[in-house]
Amino acid sequence: MAFFFLTIVWTAVSAQIVPFDSDRWEIRANESTILDHLGQKSLFMKNGLALVKGSVFTDGVIEFDIAFTGERGFMGAVWRAEDFMNYEEFYLRPHQSGQPDANQYEPVANGVETWQLYYGERYAAPVKYDFNQWVHVKIIVSGRHAEMYIKEMTTPVLIISELKREIVSGGVGLRVGEFSGAYFSNFQFTAMNNPPLKGKSKAPEQALPGTVKTWMVSNAFERKSLEKKYQLASDEKQKLRWTRLGCETSGLANLALVQGIQDGKNTAFAKVVIHSEREQVKKVTFGFSDAVMVYFNDRLIYGGNDGYRTRDHRFLGTIGLFDELWLPMKKGENELWMAVTEDFGGWGLMARFEDMSGIRFEEGSKE
């Protein structure tokens, strides 16, 4: 009986078909043109975002046709868009056809993309694309979950078990990143409550014990202000403004949720206060994107750069618990500050103490 009800909901709601030559589109792109392509009225767009004016979408279905060459490019759809800087996104990478990262889900906050933070089989899937012909794409969104269909509409190529942005109503549309453009046709969306999903979602990633779950994040500033800054001065610290940021279940802190990057201000401190019962040394493993300077009890102890292609042309700079430090704890209160710099692909941080005996994180915020 429950299945019958879902079927009625699915068929009763009509799709909104939005022609590209209508006045319902707001397009902000370096290049956009309405033209006939491969026998269909289409939108060609390069490096830009197109939103349907007045669209209200929380859950439902988005469908469109897309055509592209095999050149490097990033093109797809957005939903739950609060504005042109904040939305959920799924895009295709035609130059990675058949590879594990042939496409990508990512949340975008304050204009900062996050593919370096969300990678692997949870967020991308191998798909072999057809070039210079129309390919149908369908996205089904239901609460925290989503399914992506490409070409074949009976089995999802990718199941997103945990959409990362808050569940809010927003606009729908299309986006093309840098490099090559793409053609779109037959765009439509259907807003509906709890559309049925065919696939089985994986359980969300869970952080291991000892993971820092909350950071205090400062206002953004220019990284060059930390050049030759080996010791943090109290008067400089007092000028900072702080925001409490909780981590995801995986332990990842998406720093772009606090602020975006403006006027070259691409660095922010994230700090945590650690109380130690005695003098001791504790190992912390951590990951960052893209670069970091680590201060412990106001003294600079580490610097690293994991930015895109900083090591070789294949280095992606994805985040993970790949670095480690041994921290000399004093008895009482200790402060770990990480100045994280974003350049491209994700502004993130994670950290874990392998042994929590004799130490604890301070609860709540400390401004």
pLDDT in tens, 339-366: 999 999 999 999 999 999 999 999 754 5
Task: State the Cα–Cα distance between residues 8 and 144, nearest whole angstrom.
Answer: 22
Which three-class secondary structure state does DSSP give residue 367?
Answer: coil
Evaluate if residue 11 carries a pLDDT over 60: no
Could you say which of 158, 191, 224 is where a domain stops? 191
Q: Evaluate if residue 233 carries a pLDDT over 60.
A: yes
How do residues 82-132 score in pLDDT, each as one tens digit? 999 999 999 999 999 999 999 999 999 999 999 999 999 999 999 999 999
* 254 contacts 348 by C-beta, under 8 angstroms: yes
Confidence at 1, pLDDT banded by 50, 70, 90: very low
- Mean per-residue pLDDT of the chain: 94
| Nearest-angstrom CA–CA distance, 165 and 145 | 11
pLDDT category at 8 given cuts 50, 70, 90 is very low
pLDDT for residue 3 is more than 50: no
From CA 126, how far away is CA 24, in angstroms rounded? 34
CA gap 307, 20 in Å, rounded: 38
Among 131, 156, 191, the domain boundary falls at: 191
| Residue bearing the bigger pLDDT, 79 or 6 | 79
pTM value?
Answer: 0.92
Task: Look at strands 242-246 and 40-52 and give their pairing.
Answer: unpaired
Q: How far apart are CA 65 and CA 183, in angstroms?
A: 8
| Tens digits of residue pLDDT in 142-153 | 999 999 999 989
Could you tell me which residues are beta bridge partners of residue 32?
A: 45
Range of the domain at 112: 2-191
Query: What does the alpha-carbon distance between residue 266 and residue 163 come to, in Å, rounded to a whole number?
Result: 25
Task: Examine the domain organization and report whether 169 and 223 are in the same domain.
Answer: no
Beta bridge partners of residue 139, listed in sequence order: 62, 148
229 and 339, same domain (yes or no): yes
State whether residue 74 is helix, strand or coil: coil
pLDDT digits (tens, 9 = 90+) for 22-78: 999 999 999 999 999 999 999 999 999 999 999 999 999 999 999 999 999 999 999
Same domain, residue pair 165 and 253 = no
DSSP state of 226: G
To which residue do tokens 């939903």 refer?
79
Q: Could you tell me if 202 and 122 are in contact, meaning their C-beta atoms sit under 8 angstroms apart?
A: yes
10, 39, 76, 91 from 132: Cα distances, Å: 32, 12, 16, 17
User: What's the CATH number where 264 sits?
Assistant: 2.60.120
**Domain-embedded: residue 200:** no
